[in-house]
Structure 1
Amino acid sequence: MHYAGNVAPGHNVTALGQGGANTGYRVREDGTLRPAANFNAENDAKILRKAMKGFGTDEKAIIDILAYRTNSQRQDIKKMFKTCFGKDLIQELKSELGGKFEDVIIGLMMTPEEFDAYELKRAMRGIGTDEDAMIEILCSRSNAQIQRINEAYQRMYRQKLEKDIISDTSGHFKRLMVSMANGGRMENQAVDMNKANSDAQALYQAGEKRWGTDESQFNIIMASQSYEQLRAVFDAYSRISGRDIEKVIKSEMSGNLEIGMLAIIKCVRNKPGYFAEKLYRSMKGAGTDDRTLIRVMVTRAEVDMVQIKQEFQKMYGQSLEQFVRDDISGDYRRVILGMIGAGY
């Protein structure tokens, strides 16, 4: 593996807040996108201005800056750009770029919660709903992230996220999405084996043991318990039933509710594996699911892309980098490869 630009092995930062000094960024080693050394927001702003000034656009210069900065650094560049030139960087980029390349760059320029809110709104806008995008975001984020997504959604669209979910979805799937958007999952609770056994028994009685399925019982447990507690529930379920919880969900449920429940199970067991599968599915076969590919790349590059790449290799016997190279092209490919530490 080789690193391009300012990406180098070492520490990286993963988003807990919007960016900048007081918003709860913490150092982690799990992202491929790491802070640029000797970062200078003013210099970067000047380079971007030059790249977009006059006839034609220097896409390479834009990629070399924005694909190799953390979200926190990009927010500083955005602020400095407006300070220096009296222009909004996102609007300037939108007027200069196009296609999937533009979609990636604009996604990178939003804060994590703004991008999630934007993707949720897009998923529910117009005719038809992108339930997969809703499930991916709402079933994989922490309570704190969900809280910030709700705030960003309200600020950006003058509407409560929950209200849009209720008007756009139905049935048991609607209940699951409302539960997820509430951000009330118990976190950091000590594992209670007695409760795990009784919850596993309740799931058994609500599913396999009866005619029909009591979906609300599944919702109660899957939406409220911590990841650690759910692992204990799943283990207890296997002991009681002799079957894996994932197989049970597949046989007891269907449609978007099934996909949502399975997403929770996958995130509980192996979140990087869940996202590796999302990336694989977005690129395999004819055509590319660009929205999913872009969303996962933008939201995970600073968080756990190192593990996602490892899981991808393990699960599919091919590197994520090679998959990307074979599937997309041009500036779109260059920016994605930069973000995952592959260079171009």
Structure 2
Amino acid sequence: MASISVPNPVPSATQDAENIRKAVQGWGTDEKALIEILGHRTAAQRAEIAVAYEGLCNESLLDRLHSELSGDFRSAMMLWTADPAARDAKLAHKAMVWVLIEVACASTPDHLVAVRKAYREAYSASLEEDVLKQFLVRLVSSYRYSGELVDDELARAEAAELHDAVVVRIVSSRSKPQLKATFERYRQGHGKAIDELAAVLKTAVWCLTSPEKHFAEVIRSSIVGLGTDEESLTRAIVSRAEIDMKKVKEEYYRKTVVNGDTSGYYNGILLTLVG
């Protein structure tokens, strides 16, 4: 469930665009006004505002936000205002394995198709071609059934296949010295330890079955310890605000925690999006 609140009645896109123009013109910027407008509009409404703003001011809304804002607040506002597919294509372009898993596994089939299209338009390349790992290519190139029907026989058969999988067979039947040698050969051949593959698989399964748990953990990890991982915190909140942020909050989120780890207008937009 989405966490953002939209006013009723909602102002027209033209009216919102005019108010944004007033917020960014002249000396200084009215950041609170930007949060109040953009932070309380859906993706479709933000897209209409962007079109209206460009027609009114003869410039891109994203370009204007980039020039007016700075720091983590700018990053959050830019990601939030961007088209969701274009946003996720940009995140995927960084080729961070965990972000790729999030985009591939926590998106609806239609959204993933839109991300692939946006990626090609933005970078003149195929997302599939840019994802090097075969496992991830399978995830981003598929159109997964998103309905509620379940094939119990298929589930039973594939559970048996998982139980009898090669990795399980090897781990359960080889001596510890043999396993150590096998895992070392794997590291030499693939450039990473076998436990990294296990972590990738675990994250993929989590995103597929319980995305709210995964993103709750992303938020938790981004604010524990010394310092805050603003990039991960922003990504998690912005990407889930219109999808399942209420469930994410039920899993972990406490407003006082984020409130204590962020400040200023960056804090303002995050708290607006989490509801």
TM-based fold match above 0.5: yes
Given candidates 96, 120, 132, the residue that maps to 2:98 is 132
Specify the code of the residue in structure 1 equivalent to 2:20. L
Q: Which residue of 1 aligns with 2:77?
A: 105
Of residues 209, 223, 239, the one that matches 1:283 is 223
Query: For structure 2, which runs of at least 5 residues remain unmatched after alignment?
Result: 173-192
Aligned counterpart, 1:335: 269
Could you say which residue in structure 2 is the equivalent of 1:155?
Answer: 121
Picking from 177, 182, 190, the partner of 2:136 is 177
Aligned residue in 2 for 1:259: 199
TM-score computed with the length of structure 2 as normaliser: 0.86
Q: What secondary structure, in the 3-state scheme, does the structure 2 residue paired with 1:159 have? A: coil
In structure 1, how many angstroms separate the alpha carbons of the residues matched to 2:168 and 2:228?
A: 41
Equivalent residue in structure 2 for 1:41, among 13, 26, 43: 13
Match status 1:201 vs 2:160:
yes
TM superposition shift of 1:184: 2.9
Shift in alpha-carbon separation, 1:186–1:51, aligned structure 2, 3 A? closer
Matched AA of 1:109: T
2:175 corresponds to: none
Question: Are the aligned partners of 1:71 and 1:111 in contact in 2 as well (CA < 8 Å)?
Answer: yes
Deviation of 1:332 after TM superposition, in Å, equals: 0.5
Following TM superposition, by how much is the alpha carbon of 1:259 offset from its aligned partner in structure 2, in angstroms?
Answer: 2.6
The alignment-based identity, stated in percent, is 30
Conserved? CA contact 1:144–1:183, under 8 Å:
no
CA spacing shift, 1:267–1:133, aligned 2, 3 Å: closer
- Equivalent residues in 2 for 1:238-249 (5 A)? none
Say how many residue pairs are matched: 254
Alignment-derived partner of residue 120 in structure 1: 92
Q: Tell me if 1:324 matches 2:264.
A: no
Question: Using CA pairs below 8 Å that are at least 6 residues apart, which structure has the higher relative contact order?
Answer: 2
What stretches of structure 1 move > 6 A for 4+ residues in a row? none
Q: Please report the RMSD computed on the Cα atoms of aligned residues, expressed in angstroms.
A: 1.9
Q: What is the rounded CA distance, in whole Å, between the counterparts of 2:52 and 2:145 in structure 1?
A: 39
1:70 counterpart = 2:55: no
CA contact (8 A) 2:105 2:208 kept: no
Aligned partner of 1:311 among 216, 236, 251: 251
Change in 2 beyond 3 A, CA 1:253/1:190: farther
Matched-pair contact (CA < 8 Å) for 2:206–2:213: yes
Q: What is the CA-CA distance between 1:142 and the residue it aligns to? A: 1.9
| In 2: Cα distance, 1:65 partner to 1:337 partner | 14
Change (3 A) 1:75 1:208: closer
In the aligned structure 2, how far is the partner of 1:101 from the partner of 1:76? Answer: 22
Deviations 1:163-217 (A, max 9, x none): 1112xxxxxxx1111011112334437423332222222212215652259xxxx
Residue in 2 that maps onto 1:188: 147
Q: C-alpha displacement at 1:260, in angstroms? A: 2.7
Residue 162 of structure 1: how far off its partner (Å): 0.9
Q: Which moved more, 1:102-111 or 1:182-191?
A: 182-191
Q: Which amino acid aligns with 1:97?
A: L
For residues 181 and 63 of structure 1, what CA distance do their matches in structure 2 show? Answer: 33
CA distance in 2, matches of 1:190, 1:310: 26
Counterpart of 1:92 in 2: which secondary structure? helix
Structure 1's 209 and 57: CA in aligned 2 closer, same or farther, altered over 3 A? closer
